[in-house]
Amino acid sequence: MMGRIHSEGREPRRPAAVMRDVAKLAGVSHQTVSRVLNEHANVRPETRDRVLDAMRHLDYQRNTAARALVTRKSQTLGLITFDTTLVGPASMVYGIERAARDAGYFVSIVSVRTLERGTVLDAIKRLREQAVEGIIAVAPEDTAVAALSRVPENLPIVGVGVGRSEDVCMVGVDNRTGARQAIDHLLSLGHRTIAHIGGPPTWPEAKEREAGWREALHAAGIIAPEPTAGDWSARSGYEAGLALARERSVTAVFCANDQTAIGLLSALYRAGLKVPQDVSVVGFDDIPEAPYLYPPLTTVRQDFSAVGRQSFELLLQQINTRTRSTERMALDPELILRESTCAPA
Amino acid sequence: MMGRIHSEGREPRRPAAVMRDVAKLAGVSHQTVSRVLNEHANVRPETRDRVLDAMRHLDYQRNTAARALVTRKSQTLGLITFDTTLVGPASMVYGIERAARDAGYFVSIVSVRTLERGTVLDAIKRLREQAVEGIIAVAPEDTAVAALSRVPENLPIVGVGVGRSEDVCMVGVDNRTGARQAIDHLLSLGHRTIAHIGGPPTWPEAKEREAGWREALHAAGIIAPEPTAGDWSARSGYEAGLALARERSVTAVFCANDQTAIGLLSALYRAGLKVPQDVSVVGFDDIPEAPYLYPPLTTVRQDFSAVGRQSFELLLQQINTRTRSTERMALDPELILRESTCAPA
DNA sequence: CTGTTAGCGCATTCAA
DNA sequence: TTGAATGCGCTAACAG
């Protein structure tokens, strides 16, 4: 009779308090509790305080599942990120999560290792199961962008990247302009042979950077040499650097990103070349280490967290207006001059 | 009478199919649909197929809110991460998310900028609102660890890091051993003056690495000099390096992490010193760039994704057994020999 | 093997 | 200003 005779030892002591409990303690109906919770007007301040007190006493947590069930809103958005140690994604996750939280959204994350169509589709499926109200996908590869255009019309989505897509909203950085700034800088220094170590050809960002390099060279009446293929890694920069050092024909190298530049620097030194005296080097991204490399790296800065915030804004807009946007937004990068570039000998 | 006369233009075309719709189309009860969904036995294969077909036709998505409401399980776990471009957290998020997904859990992420107690407590509160079944918190600072011990008894939690805590399960790397390996290596090379550029003193990991350095030195009968304070950044390594170069009394430096080592290398070169000939350098972490620095960096490797997986395992165990564990697990790091160390001149 | 019933905790009508 | 009823979509218990 004492209750709990059959209590199962492994259960948490007290079941979590629900609205009814709060209501009882405050001497009101559970309805009124709901009202104060949702900040409806028409609740006497005095009643409100009693309810608030009761909630505190019972350590009341509103049940989001029940709430979502009836409102048909999960207050959650999905985030698809790419597994990587590249700075970009990490900073963006932070920016996005931050913005989402401020707007009252939870964020559910799915990390994918590759950006193949199938993988991304799986991630989307998983997020749909979760009933997310919208999705932000870091989609730097063509295949990923293609997958995004397959999400149902009624699910808002924003891609982060610069891939071409007919029907999905994308936000990224204007890589082409960034690259041109870098090359123009090198040209103004007097360089005429400017090599490029590119990123993976399946990445639109890589293609844009290469295009910018090509355009700037072309505008100066210089025929672009064949770029070296890379994969964003220091390793690829290192290997490309070894080859470049053997040729000894270039006075400057534009790297697809800073990691590549790190590897390049290493290869150049190993070959006995000096930077910037023998070879000028420019990177892309402006990772936190860039100013403290030897020499401090001239590079193109991207504001990743701005991209993150912006993508959330665009998503929120779609959610609120219930319209699928196909807007395309490109933020401007900024050339940061440091000591890895100088006039050629 | 034709229905939809009052249809609101901005609504998605078709409301999402629910179980009842599937049931009707398949000519069964909604219960049977639920059975096939949850893979209960006792469903005739034939019926099963009809149901599956119907689900496909209607593009049925199960409603997780409704499911969570009745099962009292959100199938979600919370992840508190630290805003940073440090490799560790990024790799661990991946490992954790991966493991969680394989086990059928969603993961909801909260990124915090600082690890102050209040910030972490807020993150926990937010996750509790979401009714997560457990929390993994990347908690590399003392204040964060302290906050973790405040979560209610019935919410499983695992901290990632090496902080001391009476009542929360933690998994991390044995930094002390890692540091000792590094110093022993340096000692065996013949070094007798081995400086240390530390991490932030509020980080237990930093303290452990320093302790390992101190212990190894002590064991060799050497009195440890005063370590230089750093903050994990390349900048701090650079500044410390400038100072060390002025003194010119050390033959080797053990850095708290690889970023610090990057800055140190830069400062050393700037001062006209050669690595490893004049000064040997050892890092910690083994970031992807480490093998491609100049010179390739000898460092202590941590398996971040293993830490991530392990932390999930421990969390899952707590969830399943409904017991709060206080286990403490330390994975072994591994010294990776490269070219930044050699015998002193 | 399958269907019927009940209720999870909440927000949203309606009444009072 | 407050309370009573209704049902969101699903799973679990019980019948058949």
Sorted by where each begins, the domain ranges of chain A are 19-62, 74-173+304-332, 175-302
Contacts of A129 in chain B (CB under 8 A): 61-62, 64
Structure tokens at B66: 């409704």
CA dist., res. A60 & res. B221, Å (int): 59
Mean pLDDT of chain B: 91
Interchain pair B294, A64: CB under 8 A: no
Specify the pLDDT at position B6.
Answer: 31
Q: With beta carbons less than 8 A apart as the criterion, state whether A74 and A132 touch.
A: yes
Question: Would the Cβ of B38 be found within 7 angstroms of any atom in strand C?
Answer: no
Interchain pair A12, B291: CB under 8 A: no
Of the pLDDT bands very low, low, confident and very high (cuts 50, 70, 90), residue B340 is very high
Where on the phi/psi map is residue B286: left (φ > 0), alpha (ψ -120 to 50), or beta? left
Contacts of A288 in chain B (CB under 8 A): 85, 233-234, 259
CA dist., res. A338 & res. B284, Å (int): 27
Q: Does B317 touch chain A if contact means CB atoms closer than 8 Å?
A: no
Specify the pLDDT at position A8.
Answer: 33
Mean pLDDT of B251-257: 98
Amino acid at site A218: H
Question: Would the Cβ of B28 be found within 7 angstroms of any atom in strand C?
Answer: yes
Interchain pair A234, B97: CB under 8 A: no
* pLDDT tens string B85-140: 777 888 888 889 999 999 999 999 999 988 999 999 999 989 998 999 999 999 88
CA dist., res. A218 & res. A42, Å (int): 69
Residue written as tokens 């390096």? B241
Question: Would the Cβ of A50 be found within 7 angstroms of any atom in strand D?
Answer: no
From the list B20, B100, B24, the residue with the least C-alpha distance to B62 is B20
pTM of the model: 0.91
Structure tokens at A132: 């997310």
Q: How many CB pairs under 8 A join A and B?
A: 164
Which residues in chain B (38-97) have CB-CB distances under 8 A to chain A? 59, 61-66, 68-69, 74, 76, 79, 83-85, 87, 89-91, 93-94, 97
**Which H or E run contains A317?**
helix A304-321
Q: Which residue in B has a C-alpha nearest to residue A108's C-alpha?
A: B108
CA dist., res. A110 & res. A126, Å (int): 8
From the list B24, B178, B305, the residue with the least C-alpha distance to A85 is B305
Gap from A272 CA to D9 C1', in Å? 70
Cα torsion at A297, A302, A306, A309 (round to 10°)? -120
CA dist., res. B298 & res. B282, Å (int): 5
Q: Does B321 touch chain A if contact means CB atoms closer than 8 Å?
A: yes
A108 three-state secondary structure: strand
Please list the rounded mean pLDDT of every run of 10 residues in chain A (345 residues).
30 69 87 86 83 88 90 93 78 90 93 90 91 93 89 90 87 97 98 97 95 98 96 97 94 98 98 97 97 98 93 94 90 97 96
Sign of the Cα torsion B17, B18, B20, B26 reads: positive
Residue written as tokens 């400086």? B195
User: Taking each helix axis from N to C terminus, what angle separates A204-219 and A175-189, rounded to the nearest 10 degrees?
Assistant: 40
Gap from B106 CA to D7 C1', in Å? 28
A336 three-state secondary structure: strand
Q: With beta carbons less than 8 A apart as the criterion, state whether B138 and B117 touch.
A: no
| B41 contacts: CB under 8 Å, gap ≥ 6 | none
Which residues in chain B (153-182) have CB-CB distances under 8 A to chain A? 153-154
CA dist., res. B195 & res. B246, Å (int): 14
Q: With beta carbons less than 8 A apart as the criterion, state whether B47 and B55 touch.
A: no
Task: Answer whether residue B191 shows pLDDT above 90.
Answer: yes
Q: How far is B12 from chain A (nearest CA, A)?
A: 6
Residues B238-248 as b or e (16 or more Cβ within 10 Å = b): bbbbbebbeee
Specify the pLDDT at position A14.
Answer: 63
- Number of helices (H) and strands (E) in chain A: give both, helices first: 12, 11
* pLDDT tens string A92-109: 888 999 999 999 999 999
Mean pLDDT of B254-259: 98
Could you check whether A19-62 and A175-302 share the same CATH topology?
A: no
Q: With beta carbons less than 8 A apart as the criterion, state whether B136 and B78 touch.
A: yes
Note the strand C nucleotides within 7 A of protein beta carbons.
1-5, 7-13
What is the nearest nucleotide to A63, using C1' and CA? C9
Q: With beta carbons less than 8 A apart as the criterion, state whether A75 and A64 touch.
A: yes
Give, in order, the Cα–Cα distances in Å from B306 to each of B20, B78, B173, B309: 43, 19, 10, 5
* pLDDT tens string B259-316: 999 999 999 999 999 999 999 999 999 999 999 999 999 999 999 989 999 999 999 9
Interchain pair A111, B98: CB under 8 A: yes
Question: Would the Cβ of B69 be found within 7 angstroms of any atom in strand D?
Answer: yes
Interchain pair A322, B233: CB under 8 A: no
Question: Would the Cβ of A44 be found within 7 angstroms of any atom in strand D?
Answer: yes
Q: How far is B85 from chain A (nearest CA, A)?
A: 6
A109 three-state secondary structure: strand
CA dist., res. B142 & res. B276, Å (int): 35
Question: Would the Cβ of B34 be found within 7 angstroms of any atom in strand D?
Answer: yes
Strand A299-301, strand A334-336: pairing: antiparallel
Q: With beta carbons less than 8 A apart as the criterion, state whether B237 and B197 touch.
A: yes
CATH C-level class of B175-302: alpha beta
CATH C-level class of A74-173+304-332: alpha beta
Least CB-CB distance to B109: which of A109, A287, A322?
A: A109
Residues B122-142 as b or e (16 or more Cβ within 10 Å = b): bbbebbbebbbbbbbbbbbbb
Least CB-CB distance to A292: which of B108, B263, B288?
A: B263
**Which H or E run contains B254?**
strand B252-255
In terms of Cβ atoms closer than 10 Å to its own Cβ (0-12, 13-18, 19+), residue B68 is buried
**Which H or E run contains B68?**
helix B64-71
Least CB-CB distance to A294: which of B98, B235, B266?
A: B266
Which residues in chain A (110-139) have CB-CB distances under 8 A to chain B? 110-111, 113, 126, 128-131
Specify the pLDDT at position A113.
Answer: 87
CA dist., res. B119 & res. A99, Å (int): 16
CATH topology of domain A19-62: 434 Repressor (Amino-terminal Domain) (1.10.260)
Mean pLDDT of B181-201: 97
- Beta strand residue intervals within A113-272, DSSP E: 134-138, 157-160, 169-173, 194-197, 252-255
Gap from B322 CA to D4 C1', in Å? 38
